[in-house]
Amino acid sequence: MSDPDGAAAPTQDDRKLCDVLRAASRRIHDRSNSLVNARLIVLFTDRRLYGRALACFYHVFQALESALDACAKLPEMSRFAATLSPAGLYRTAGFEADLQFYLGDDWRQQVSNPSPAILAYTDHLVQLGAAQQVSALLAHAYTQHLALASGGQVIKRMARRHMQLPEDQGTAAFDYASSSPAALKAAFVGQLDAHGAALDAEAWDNMVHEHRLAFAHNNAIIRAFRLGWWPFFRGLFRLVPPMLHVTGVLLLAVLVYLLFFYQRGGAAATA
């Protein structure tokens, strides 16, 4: 997968690494946010549908955290021991608890056939781990783990409100027991900036590429996840005022009738 933004990577100067990563991914980050926001209102209409969507990124976090663990004993990973851990930013266990809640006891069987878009990303992460490409993996951790510690907290509040979740269930992927998400995020950013200070310009360029690549993979995964028409209409009904619901039903009935009439007419013409 080529550099998704197609822009020249910034040169290393007196800026901090995380500032460079943030600036370099602004456009593709905005596209990713638009994709997620357009689907959330639909996902919140059906707990099982939401669980299936969570499963897409369960595979990503599981692969990423396994790859990071494979590099954990390398000297350059020592400063991340507290933040990149189950007690810190790691999310695999939280995803598993949520999938148990949304999909039931056989959730592992239900999510055992990930899409080609998911496999393309997880295969890339596995390869980075096998090659011990620490800086590349840290760029993906910056993308994925900080997303859940930042915007993920908004998703958590929306999920609890729209799906009327039981207390302490359904949002484990966004819950942090040992510290606040903001504190973990700040700690990781500081550690990553310190890591970047010891790298040359080529390594920075590669981290920018991997950061953008993470967003491109995310967007491909989101696009590959099919919602269906009925959840879409349920989500649309939540967006319009209640007084317009009857009008919406009538318009939908007319649309279905016209589609049926069109299909009947086409069949008759070919008979």
Annotate 197-213 with three-state secondary structure: HCCCHHHHHHHHHHHHH
Q: Residues 48-72: what's their mean pLDDT? A: 97
Which DSSP letter does residue 77 get? G
Q: Residues 153-170: what's their mean pLDDT? A: 92
* Alpha-carbon span 96 to 92, nearest angstrom: 6
User: 28: pLDDT confidence band, cut at 50, 70 and 90?
Assistant: confident
pLDDT of 104 reads 97
43 vs 57, higher pLDDT? 57
Q: Is 83 exposed, middle or buried (0-12, 13-18, 19+ CB in 10 A)?
A: buried
Going by C-alpha positions, the residue among 119, 206, 151 that lies closest to residue 36 is: 151
pLDDT of 3 reads 58
Q: Is 208 exposed, middle or buried (0-12, 13-18, 19+ CB in 10 A)?
A: buried
* Alpha-carbon span 49 to 107, nearest angstrom: 13
* Alpha-carbon span 64 to 141, nearest angstrom: 7
* Alpha-carbon span 221 to 20, nearest angstrom: 25
**Contact yes or no for 211/25 (Cβ under 8 A):** yes
Going by C-alpha positions, the residue among 65, 68, 210, 61 that lies closest to residue 134 is: 68
Biggest CA-to-CA distance, the chain? 74
249 vs 159, higher pLDDT? 159
- Which pLDDT tens digit goes with each residue over 172-202? 999 998 889 999 999 999 999 999 999 999 9
212 vs 32, higher pLDDT? 212
Mean pLDDT check: name the lowest of 68-77, 218-227, 255-264: 255-264
> Which residue bears the tokens 């039931």?
104
Query: Over 90: is that where the pLDDT of 36 sits?
Result: no
pLDDT of 270 reads 44
User: pTM of the predicted model, to two decimals?
Assistant: 0.81
